[in-house]
């Protein structure tokens, strides 16, 4: 198979995107960051961050927290938001739905925050979003579930800086079908996020004339995977895997042991190896296989200034690991969403001249009026289109190939390839 060249065609001409943003009152600084006057003593904006410090999402939670603090330091160094410093209040939700709801209630009743952001795991989001609506708490997701864009939540919930599974899969399935094969075995976690992958990949492959020959759901708390591997049919042309939780490395190792040298093509979501080093002997079999990445873990040959700035401020090296410990690999394809979401909140609050709860509705309406974000230091992952009706962002997707133990960018979708028809309109809901 011959790799396709990177395709960076953008759905909206950049000039049109920027014009729409200007009309909405957006003011981005690229590459610099715009400073504001120092706030008067006593004025503060409080943001609640229910990070997954423990539980199956702990690896993500640790890097989400590190990334958020790095972004917040920049915001406060530049004068905060509307002249007010920003305070980050963190609660550990244990990657647990019940604790996620409890954290939301605590943010509202005890901490009295202005907004909440940072949830990733979709089962926690599914439980927490309805409560955020009841509490009338602005709730910004750093997740990938499709439930928001499908209309399952409320007008207080947004996902402005990370794309959803439906968008990711619909844009990559044609590439998979044309370059790897049409008979696909799906391996995914047995909860809402995994079901998004199962349902959307099934539909996307059928649209390409392909078929799902097996669908294997594995509990995200699993620690041994050998009993699932025999379910992979012999006629499989492509194994599509996405796994989460503390056992991801064991999963990928045992997949390789089962397949041996006569493996089919493999396409994985980087979730299966987030926070895991690729250059270890047990993963040699992944050479020549492909992964989805939202933001390439490894700095590419044509690395741009925004990627360099972001890595420097968060403390991540060219291999996607901590500059303090090369073995401490980041969750690079997800944690950018926390950084970018903070700057999206900042933008909406500045558009609304937000000073406190009296401007809450104005801030939410400002967020709905934003049409997109241009790639910059604030939005280093890339250009995005934001749909104010569905509260969902759309952006480029990346397909990378394992070459010499590193991920090398092979193909980048256009944003047009990631779009799908609106399934809801939150602006028709009342506050």
Q: Tell whether 353 is covered by a domain.
A: yes
pLDDT of amino acid 262 = 86
Q: Tell whether 430 is covered by a domain.
A: no
Shared-domain flag, residues 156 and 111:
yes
Shared-domain flag, residues 19 and 158:
yes
CB 17 within 8 A of CB 383: yes
- Burial of residue 75 (CB within 10 Å: 0-12, 13-18, 19+) is buried
Helix (H/G/I), strand (E/B), else coil: 199: helix
CB 125 within 8 A of CB 145: yes
Shared-domain flag, residues 368 and 274:
no
Tokens of 321: 């690991």
Domain count, the chain: 2
Shared-domain flag, residues 21 and 125:
yes
Q: Tell whether 419 is covered by a domain.
A: no
Shared-domain flag, residues 249 and 363:
no
Per-residue pLDDT of the chain (431 residues; tens, 9 = 90+): 333 333 333 334 444 454 444 444 343 333 333 333 333 434 999 999 999 999 999 999 999 999 999 999 999 999 999 999 999 999 999 999 999 999 999 999 999 999 999 999 999 999 999 999 999 999 999 999 999 999 999 999 999 999 999 999 999 999 999 999 999 999 999 999 999 999 999 999 999 999 999 999 999 899 999 999 999 999 999 999 999 888 899 999 999 999 988 899 999 999 999 999 998 898 999 999 999 999 999 999 999 999 999 999 999 999 999 999 999 999 999 999 999 999 999 999 999 999 999 999 999 999 999 999 999 999 999 999 999 999 999 999 999 999 999 999 999 999 999 999 999 999 999 99
Shared-domain flag, residues 18 and 158:
yes
Q: Tell whether 359 is covered by a domain.
A: yes
CB 133 within 8 A of CB 153: yes
* Final residue before a domain boundary, out of 287, 302, 317: 302
pLDDT of amino acid 246 = 84
pLDDT of amino acid 82 = 97
For 320-365, the pLDDT digits (tens) are: 999 999 999 999 999 999 999 999 999 999 999 999 999 999 999 9
- Burial of residue 296 (CB within 10 Å: 0-12, 13-18, 19+) is buried
Shared-domain flag, residues 25 and 152:
yes
* Residue listed under structure tokens 């500059």: 323
Shared-domain flag, residues 208 and 113:
no
Residue 273: CATH number of its domain: 3.40.50.2300
Q: What share of the chain is helix, strand, coil (3-state, %, to 5)?
A: 40, 20, 45
Nearest to 187 by CA among 253, 224, 239, 148: 239
Q: Tell whether 30 is covered by a domain.
A: yes
Shared-domain flag, residues 248 and 271:
yes
* Residue listed under structure tokens 């395709």: 7
Q: Give the chain's length.
A: 431
The answer for residues whose C-beta is within 8 angstroms of residue 41's C-beta and 6 or more apart is none
pLDDT of amino acid 284 = 92
Beta strands in 154-293 (DSSP E): 157-158, 183-189, 211-218, 238-241, 265-269, 290-293
Nearest to 326 by CA among 315, 340, 342: 315
Q: Tell whether 131 is covered by a domain.
A: yes
Beta strands in 80-203 (DSSP E): 86-90, 115-117, 139-140, 157-158, 183-189
Q: Tell whether 421 is covered by a domain.
A: no
| Domain extent for 277 | 165-302
Shared-domain flag, residues 265 and 363:
no
**CA dist., res. 393 & res. 418, Å (int):** 10
Alpha carbon 154 to chain centroid distance?
A: 20
Q: Tell whether 405 is covered by a domain.
A: no
Q: How far is CA 179 from CA 86, 113, 237, 291, 410, in A?
A: 48, 49, 11, 13, 12
Shared-domain flag, residues 45 and 96:
yes
pLDDT of amino acid 269 = 94
Helix (H/G/I), strand (E/B), else coil: 326: strand
User: How are strands ordered across the β-sheet holding 86-90?
Assistant: 86-90, 45-49, 115-117, 139-140, 157-158
Shared-domain flag, residues 223 and 245:
yes
């Amino acid at each position: 198979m011959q790799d396709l060249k990177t395709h960076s065609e953008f759905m909206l001409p950049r000039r049109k995107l920027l014009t729409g943003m200007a009309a909405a009152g957006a003011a981005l600084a690229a590459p610099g960051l715009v400073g504001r006057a120092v706030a008067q003593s006593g004025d503060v904006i409080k943001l609640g961050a229910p990070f997954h410090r423990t539980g199956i999402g702990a690896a993500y939670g640790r890097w989400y927290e590190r990334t958020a603090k790095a972004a917040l330091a920049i915001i406060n160094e530049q004068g905060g938001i509307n002249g007010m410093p920003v305070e980050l209040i963190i609660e550990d939700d244990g990657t647990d739905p019940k604790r996620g709801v409890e954290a939301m209630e605590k943010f509202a009743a005890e901490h009295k925050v202005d907004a909440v952001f940072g949830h990733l795991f979709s089962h926690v989001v599914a439980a927490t979003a309805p409560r955020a609506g009841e509490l009338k708490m602005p709730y910004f997701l750093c997740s990938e579930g499709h439930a928001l864009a499908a209309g399952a939540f409320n007008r207080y919930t947004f996902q402005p800086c990370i794309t959803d599974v439906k968008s990711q899969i619909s844009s990559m399935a044609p590439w998979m079908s044309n370059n790897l094969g049409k008979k696909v075995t799906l391996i995914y976690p047995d909860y809402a996020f995994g079901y998004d992958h199962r349902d959307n990949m099934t539909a996307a492959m059928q649209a390409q004339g392909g078929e799902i020959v097996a669908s294997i759901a594995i509990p995200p708390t699993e620690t041994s995977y050998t009993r699932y591997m025999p379910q992979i049919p012999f006629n499989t042309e492509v194994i599509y895997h996405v796994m989460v939780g503390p056992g991801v490395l064991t999963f990928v190792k045992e997949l390789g042991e089962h397949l041996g040298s006569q493996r089919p093509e493999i396409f994985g979501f980087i979730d299966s190896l987030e926070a895991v080093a690729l250059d270890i002997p047990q993963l040699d079999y992944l050479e020549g296989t492909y992964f989805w990445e939202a933001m390439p873990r490894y700095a590419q040959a044509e690395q741009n200034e925004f990627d360099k700035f972001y890595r420097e401020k968060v403390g991540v090296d060219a291999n996607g690991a901590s500059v303090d410990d090369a073995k401490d690999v980041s969750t690079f394809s997800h944690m950018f969403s926390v950084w970018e979401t903070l700057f999206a909140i900042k933008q909406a609050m500045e558009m609304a001249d937000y000073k406190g709860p009296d401007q809450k509705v104005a801030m939410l309406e400002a967020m709905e009026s934003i049409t997109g974000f241009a790639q910059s230091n604030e939005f280093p992952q890339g250009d995005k289109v934001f749909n104010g009706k569905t509260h969902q962002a759309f952006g480029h997707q990346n397909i990378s190939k394992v070459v010499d133990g590193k991920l090398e960018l092979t193909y980048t979708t256009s944003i047009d390839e990631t779009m799908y028809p609106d399934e809801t309109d939150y602006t028709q809901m009342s506050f």
